[in-house]
Amino acid sequence: MKLSVCMIVKNEEVMLEQCLSSVIGADELIICDTGSIDKTVEIAKKYTDKVYTDFEWCDSFAKARNHANSKATGDWILTIDADEHLEPGGLALIREAIKDFDGDAINLNVVATDKSTVFKNIRLYRNAPHVKWHGAAHNYVSVPATKECEATIVFGYSPAHKLDPDRTMRILEKATEDNPSLSREWYYLGREYWYRGQYQKAIDTLDIYVKGSKNIPERSDAYLMQARALWAMRRGEEARQTCMLSILNNANFKEAVLFMAELHWEHNANAWKKFAECCTNGGVLFKRVE
């Protein structure tokens, strides 16, 4: 089974080399540059002759990824970003996972450099016409994962983000304006507002999300963000009620249970901390607390 690595990059001269070094051994490396003004293309060409500059950036990560995938000739595609790298032994685990597998997509482990966030994500999928990326930002593959692979991708923070720090928020604002019926885009837009301390906008945006979503892991995380925003605004009782909604969606969400302890005086806080010891983090979107 031939394995292609497909990447989209822009102004990643600082991070790119570590990433590319980690996937040496793949059968094919496709790099789609979307308008770099630094040495990204020069670095990429040290690792592959399949470097493309024919995609005009249009504020859609899905379109860029699908364009890169269109260049691939492998049976399977591994997607990785320039500010990420595959842990040693990852390619061997990937090759074993795709061997004789008749499904379309496989989850890999994705872990922050400081181990603060851990989650599963489809990064390995069949190179087939029906497998496409969707979503302008925080995009996703059109088919479900039906297998787990223990290969791990480690992600950091690229200095390139500072060149356009509001890019993701801009894309999500336009996406939700153009199509208000979108679901997960409202979740990620609310998260962008929360990151920036725009707490009321985060709460209002996440309200739109939870009213239209049936995705339990995302709903639970959305309620927790709302609770944190309310607490930051000194609206303690509302924060407790909203945090409870997070727990009602997923009683195993340890971070939410521990935050409930933080929201109470000692006599109740100690009980919530005890409850947290029983939480497994099963069904959690992003595992930030062990």
Q: What is the CATH number of the domain that holds 13?
A: 3.90.550.10
- Across-strand partners of 28? 4
My answer on whether 10 and 151 are in the same domain is yes
* Structural domain contains residue 289: no
Asked if 53 and 135 sit in the same domain, the reply is yes
Closest CA to 160 of 8, 13, 7, 6: 13
In terms of domains, do 189 and 229 share one? yes
Residue 75 falls within a domain, yes or no?
yes
**66 and 108 together in one domain:** yes
Same structural domain, 46 and 150: yes
Q: Which residue has the higher pLDDT, 73 or 290?
A: 73
Contact 76, 149 (CB under 8 A): no
Same domain, 264 and 151: no
Q: Which of 128, 144, 160 is the last residue of a domain?
A: 160
Pairing of strands 148-155, 105-112: parallel
Reply yes or no on whether the pLDDT at 182 is more than 90: no
Q: How confident is the model at residue 100 (pLDDT cuts 50, 70, 90)?
A: very high
Beta strands of the chain (E only): which ranges? 3-9, 28-33, 51-52, 76-79, 84-86, 105-112, 118-126, 133-134, 140-141, 148-155
**Is residue 288 in some structural domain?**
no
Q: What is the Cα–Cα distance from 78 to 143, expressed in whole angstroms?
A: 15
pTM of the predicted protein model:
0.92
For the chain, percent of residues with pLDDT exceeding 90 = 99
Q: Which domain holds residue 115?
A: 3-160
- Verify that 110 and 185 share a domain, yes or no: no
Q: What is the pLDDT of residue 130?
A: 97
Give the pLDDT of residue 208.
Answer: 97
Question: pLDDT tens for residues 11-43?
Answer: 999 999 999 999 999 999 999 999 999 999 999
Average pLDDT, the chain: 97
Looking at residue 160, what DSSP letter applies? Answer: G
Q: Is the pLDDT confidence value at 289 over 90?
A: yes
86 pLDDT higher than 90:
yes
**pLDDT over 90 at 279, yes or no:** yes
Q: What is the pLDDT of residue 274?
A: 97
Q: Is 285 contained in some domain?
A: no
Return the percentage of the chain with pLDDT > 70, whole number: 100
Domain for residue 284, yes or no?
A: no
State the pLDDT at residue 77: 98
Q: pLDDT-derived band of residue 129, with 50, 70 and 90 as boundaries? A: very high
Q: Residue 242 above 90 pLDDT?
A: yes
**CATH code, domain with 191:** 1.25.40.10
Backbone angles phi, psi at 125, to 5 degrees: -155, 160
Looking at residue 148, its pLDDT comes to: 97
Looking at 111, 126, 160, which one is the last position of a domain? 160
* 156 has pLDDT over 90: yes
- In whole angstroms, give the CA distance from residue 188 to residue 170: 12
Q: Which of 160, 177, 202 is the last residue of a domain?
A: 160
Distance (Å, rounded) from C-alpha 191 to C-alpha 179?
18
Q: In this predicted structure, what is the pLDDT of residue 7?
A: 98
Residues 145 and 10 in one domain: yes
Helix and strand numbers (H, E) in the chain are 11, 10
Contact in structure between 66 and 58 (CB atoms under 8 Å):
no
The answer to whether residue 207 sits within a structural domain is yes
If residue 16 lies in a helix (H) or strand (E), which one and from where to where? helix 16-22
- Do the domain assignments include residue 194? yes
pLDDT of 102 higher than 90: yes
Task: Say if residue 7 is in the same domain as residue 137.
Answer: yes
- Report the amino acid identity of residue 279: C
In a shared domain, residues 13 and 145: yes
Q: What's the domain count of the chain?
A: 2
Residues 151 and 175 in one domain: no
Q: What is the mean pLDDT of residues 54-68?
A: 96
User: Quick check: is 290 in a domain?
Assistant: no
**Judgement on whether residues 155 and 192 belong to the same structural domain of the protein:** no
What is the pLDDT confidence band of residue 166, given thresholds at 50, 70 and 90? very high
Residue 64's pLDDT is 98
